[in-house]
Structure 1
Amino acid sequence: MTLSTPLLAAAPLLAGLIGPALIGAAPAAQQADRPAVAPAQAPAHTGGRTTGHATGRAAQNAAAPGDIVEHVAARTAADQRRVLDYWTPERMAKALPIGLLDIVTDDGLLSGLTGDADLRTTPELTGRRADLTVPRELVGTHRMAAARPDTSTIGARWMTGGLVSRTTGRVFLTVAGADFVCSASTVRSANRDVVVTAGHCVKDGAGAWAANWTFVPGYGTRGTHPYGQYTARRMFVAGPWSRGGDDDYDVGMVALATSHGRHVADVVGTQEIAFDAGRGGQAFGFGYPADPPYDGGHLVYCAGRLKDDPYGQSRDQGLGCDMTAGSSGGPWMTKFDPATGKGTIMSLSSFKYSDDRRTMYGPYFGQTIKALYGTAQNA
């Protein structure tokens, strides 16, 4: 259906899924964007998913491990200061979950939706974007966590503290003139600057790279940033994501600038990261969901057993989780110790199927993602 500004101004929108739709064809490459190696042939994609991402079976979309695309972000101190100055408390408060990217850019609606309007107070959408809605039975079920974290929950506030409460943070970014939020985590890296997030929180598939990209670790209530704010200096995604938004490669690695001369790893610490890990098993997922029943102001977690994609449309694994938009890019960890908040990142929040709102899917970290990480940690 065709959206209009009057329609989007009436009653609450229960926007909830994670990934953006691709916006048109790829623009002309900027000088700062370059593949690390000659890109492989563009993958073929199959249909069947309703998150707005292009999709494809792993056998059809295999990527060369070194198929990495880079973008230079805030290179100079002046660039970094401009980005930090851009994110006023008011802009941070009005930033929208990245899952709404396709809505606010369709039909020239940016001016009507990114000023005084708040998309979380606009009407529920039906028809072509029905996959963005949250089931009404989930609204108002925001749960508080017990003192000891559960090993099985589809969504609860993380109250235990520990390392994860510092290494996980919110991402603020601008795409197509609108401001958005995602989640991310620091990882151990040679340069002490790397965070991992979803690919769609870095680059809109075959579309534009994000601008004004800023990581706020340990984001607190009322918009506090107790450990500083870190701008992106270099951004990396896998070729299949950059060329076609392939969900199997929905991973972004970002090398951050220092904050007041300090590397993010030296301020908040890091989590471990693993590749080619065994499938299945217990995992904990974290993020800052921003749509009902959540508000983006608290770290939330899900926990449970991982399962393969039952539709066979990806190599991703699923985790029972009702986190909503804004949690994109939040880390999934195995070998997680709730007492210390330490674990090993092996995936992240990427997408949901429209007929299964209670399962989040995350990409498998194989050799291509390992190469992505290796490039970022040496940037």
Structure 2
Amino acid sequence: MTLSTPMLAAVPLVAGLMGPALVGATPTQQREPRPDRPAAVQHLPAAKRSEVVEHVAARGSADQRRVLDYWTPQRMAAALPIDLLDIVTKGGGLVSGLTGKAGVGLAPELSGATTKVATRRHLSARPQQRTAGSRWMTGGAVTRTTGRVFLTVAGADFVCSASTVRSANRDVVVTAGHCVKDGTGQWADNWTFVPGYHEGGGQPYGRYPARRMFVAAPWSHAADDSYDVGMVALATSSGRHVTDVVGAQEISFDAPRGGQAFGFGYPADPPYNGEHLVYCAGPLHDDPHGETRDQGLGCDMTAGSSGGPWLSRFDLGSGQGTVTSVSSFKYSDDHRTMYGPYFSSSAKALFTAAERS
């Protein structure tokens, strides 16, 4: 993830696939100059900003089986939030890269922190119209349509979140672009969606490997956070399409800005442990720095929640709503606000390509 000066460094949530700055960065890391992204985006023609960049993932049944076989229970349990990618693959190894960072951005099993939810408010059984982070304990469609994503980048295993959306081919999930492609870098491998994931590695609705992946040109060519959206067309599981099994949320583009949203995901860093569906709820507001078209939501969800859906017009009883964004990043000086990209014509082009694939 790259943002310009004098902007505060943005921290990709679980996908910091691009970001060297981690949540909890020291003050000296908060104003890191980021001169490259504006130039790259400004020189990208307007027509190119709606261009769809596609990648073929698992090719055919044999390749899909290889992906499913890869994800043993041990590998799934050991997968890290993707915002550790830079440390794991580029910093001389995980242990050396974490020296002196005492628990910063770590998955619970690495930080030594408790994996139990820390505060009583996280366990509220009654759904709330405003919360910075609570366990979703009400049931409904969102518990089936939201799931965890397991993926491999540069030989290391990571996790994100995603949601099914209603589509013509009944195969499409939406997530963050950085949970699909490392910005200007490589595509993810072994990409697998587990809808309705629950504690202890529960997979009540099966596992679905990716067939094709789609991101926008500004994300693929310049890692522009305003376009941090990924659409993935899944293979079937036991011959069944994912939305035939778990249902789907609606999806909308160019919706009115602002309003109320409910954000869902599987945060994996303390005080969360990646084993439960968590939600944030509250009003949306524009990026106060003016560096992205993203909107902000008060939210303390941590790494692992990247790509989780933001639902507008959400019905607390049925668990149904309309996806209008996904969790993308936080600024390093404000861990209480999550930002998500505005779904414009560019996101619609991704969705159209995915549902036709």
Aligned to 1:207: 185
Give the conservation status (yes or no) of the 8 Å contact 2:293–2:341: yes
Aligned to 2:255: 277
Instruction: Flag the 1:269–1:82 CA change in 2: closer, same or farther, 3 A.
Output: same
Given candidates 161, 165, 180, the residue that maps to 2:139 is: 161
TM-score of the superposition, structure 2-length normalised?
Answer: 0.85
Q: Offset of 1:50 from its aligned partner?
A: 6.3
Given candidates 142, 145, 149, the residue that maps to 1:171 is: 149
| Corresponding position: 1:100 with 2:78 | no
1:330-354 Cα offsets, whole Å, 9 max, x none, are 0001000010000000001000001
Q: Offset of 1:20 from its aligned partner?
A: 1.6
Q: Offset of 1:99 from its aligned partner?
A: 0.9
Given candidates 257, 262, 282, the residue that maps to 2:235 is: 257
Give the conservation status (yes or no) of the 8 Å contact 1:23–1:204: no
Counterpart Cα distance in 2 of 1:245 and 1:287: 22
Q: Which amino acid aligns with 1:88?
A: T
Given candidates 233, 253, 278, the residue that maps to 1:300 is: 278
> SS of the residue aligned with 1:80?
helix
Q: Which amino acid aligns with 2:90?
A: D
**Count, aligned residues:** 326
Aligned to 1:28: none
Aligned to 1:143: 121
Instruction: Flag the 1:181–1:54 CA change in 2: closer, same or farther, 3 A.
Output: farther
Q: Which amino acid aligns with 1:184?
A: A
Give the conservation status (yes or no) of the 8 Å contact 2:15–2:160: no
> SS of the residue aligned with 2:122?
coil
1:134-189 Cα offsets, whole Å, 9 max, x none, are xxxxx833733433310000000000010000000000000010000000000000
Give the conservation status (yes or no) of the 8 Å contact 2:14–2:179: no
Give the fraction of aligned pairs with identical amino acids, expressed as a percent: 69
Counterpart Cα distance in 1 of 2:51 and 2:328: 20
| Corresponding position: 1:68 with 2:52 | yes
Given candidates 3, 18, 21, the residue that maps to 1:22 is: 18
Give the conservation status (yes or no) of the 8 Å contact 2:49–2:218: no
Counterpart Cα distance in 2 of 1:340 and 1:304: 19
Instruction: Flag the 1:170–1:342 CA change in 2: closer, same or farther, 3 A.
Output: same
| Corresponding position: 1:87 with 2:71 | yes
Counterpart Cα distance in 1 of 2:321 and 2:58: 30
> SS of the residue aligned with 1:223?
coil
Counterpart Cα distance in 2 of 1:244 and 1:86: 31
Counterpart Cα distance in 2 of 1:230 and 1:236: 16
Instruction: Flag the 1:52–1:231 CA change in 2: closer, same or farther, 3 A.
Output: farther
Q: Offset of 1:75 from its aligned partner?
A: 1.5
Instruction: Flag the 1:234–1:97 CA change in 2: closer, same or farther, 3 A.
Output: same
Q: Which amino acid aligns with 1:73?
A: A
Instruction: Flag the 1:267–1:49 CA change in 2: closer, same or farther, 3 A.
Output: farther
Q: Which amino acid aligns with 2:241?
A: H
1:323-374 Cα offsets, whole Å, 9 max, x none, are 0000000000100001000000000100000111000000000001101100
Counterpart Cα distance in 2 of 1:331 and 1:293: 20
| Corresponding position: 1:349 with 2:349 | no
Counterpart Cα distance in 2 of 1:254 and 1:79: 16
Instruction: Flag the 1:51–1:308 CA change in 2: closer, same or farther, 3 A.
Output: farther
Q: Offset of 1:59 from its aligned partner?
A: 9.0
| Consecutive unaligned residues in structure 2, runs of 5 or more | 1-10, 21-29, 106-110, 112-116
Q: Greater shift after overlay, 144-153 or 279-288?
A: 144-153
> SS of the residue aligned with 2:18?
coil
Give the conservation status (yes or no) of the 8 Å contact 1:317–1:361: yes
Aligned to 1:233: 211
| Corresponding position: 1:78 with 2:56 | no
Counterpart Cα distance in 1 of 2:82 and 2:34: 12
Counterpart Cα distance in 2 of 1:51 and 1:362: 22
Aligned to 2:225: 247
| Consecutive unaligned residues in structure 1, runs of 5 or more | 1-14, 25-47, 127-132, 134-138
